[in-house]
């Protein structure tokens, strides 16, 4: 990740890696690891069958050294947020540049 972009990662994020399921089918996680990231929140108006709805979309940017997948447990601001999707962004040489995580 570019040094200038990396300097914009000012939010503290905890990521607990998914390790499996317990005997009751509940997901289990490893110890959380703290990373610096950037959280961007925006509100969008979406049209649905009942009319317009205001929907919040949150995007998290993480550097390439973060260990995360869509089953990981992400925490920030004292709350656990469910991952809705994730995108791996690569540079012009095909190396991972950063991750974008959607909540």
Q: Where are the domains of the chain?
A: 3-102
Tens of pLDDT, residues 14-57: 999 999 999 999 999 999 999 999 999 988 888 878 888 888 78
Q: Check residue 93 and give its pLDDT.
A: 93
Q: Check residue 14 and give its pLDDT.
A: 96
50 sits in the region (left: phi over 0; alpha: psi -120 to 50; else beta) called alpha
53 backbone dihedrals φ, ψ, rounded to 5°: -130, 140
Q: Check residue 1 and give its pLDDT.
A: 81
Rounded Cα–Cα distance for residues 73 and 79 (Å): 10
Helix (H, G, I), strand (E, B) or coil at 73: strand
Percent of the chain clearing pLDDT 90 (strictly above): 71
Neighbours of 38 (CB within 10 A): 18
Give residues with Cβ within 8 angstroms of 52, minimum separation 6.
45, 46
Asked if the 3-102 domain carries CATH number 3.10.620, the reply is no
Q: Check residue 49 and give its pLDDT.
A: 84
């Amino acid at each position: 990740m570019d040094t200038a972009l990396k300097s914009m990662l000012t939010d503290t994020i905890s990521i607990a890696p998914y390790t499996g399921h317990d005997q009751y089918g509940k997901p289990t996680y490893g110890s959380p690891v703290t990373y610096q990231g950037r959280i961007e929140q925006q509100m969008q108006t979406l049209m649905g069958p009942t009319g317009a709805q205001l929907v919040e979309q949150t995007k998290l940017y993480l550097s390439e050294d973060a260990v995360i997948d869509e089953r990981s447990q992400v925490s920030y601001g004292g709350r656990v947020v469910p991952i809705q999707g994730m995108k791996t962004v690569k540079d012009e040489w095909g190396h991972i540049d950063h991750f974008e995580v959607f909540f």
